[in-house]
Amino acid sequence: MNSFTGHIVSIEESEKMSLVTVSIGDDLRMKAIILETSETASYLKLDNPIRVLFKETEVVIGTAKPHQISLQNRIPGTVSQIEKSGLLSKITVQSNAGDIVSIISTQAIMDLDIQEGSSILAMIKLNEVMLSLC
């Protein structure tokens, strides 16, 4: 499980959902959509410290070329380690927020020509990000 600590910088609410933006470090913002509001979840307050969590299998990897894609959580980084296996492989990405681990198909690594030292973009869908109290 990938985990980063940050603080809540914005909360947009509609019906029974909230789009929460979390600042991690100086230059990274991550978003999570949750089925809670500030009325139902006491931790949903601006500036509250919060932990952002997401599974390795939910990290989409792309090359550093410009992307026109709907995923809003985009984290640039450099591949520091690749552990290849038969069907799936584990990639460790160094980013300004810390290391991110992704599990993707070994074929995708070959198709994208990803190697240790490659500049990549790690992307996570809003609905795959979880929030937890620090």
Q: What is the pLDDT of residues 34-92, one digit of tens each?
A: 999 999 999 999 999 999 999 999 999 988 666 678 889 999 999 999 999 889 999 99
Q: pLDDT of 64-79, one tens digit each? A: 666 678 889 999 999 9
Are 86 and 40 within one domain?
Answer: no
SS (H, E, C) the chain: CEEEEEEEEEEEEECCEEEEEEEECCCEEEEEEECCCCCCCCCCCCCCEEEEEECHHHEEEEECCCCCCCCCEEEEEEEEEEECCCCEEEEEEEECCEEEEEEEEHHHHHHCCCCCCCEEEEEECHHHCEEEEC
User: For the whole model, what pTM was predicted?
Assistant: 0.85
In terms of domains, do 33 and 17 share one?
Answer: yes
| 19/37 same-domain check | yes
Instruction: Indicate whether 78 and 60 sit together in one domain.
Output: yes
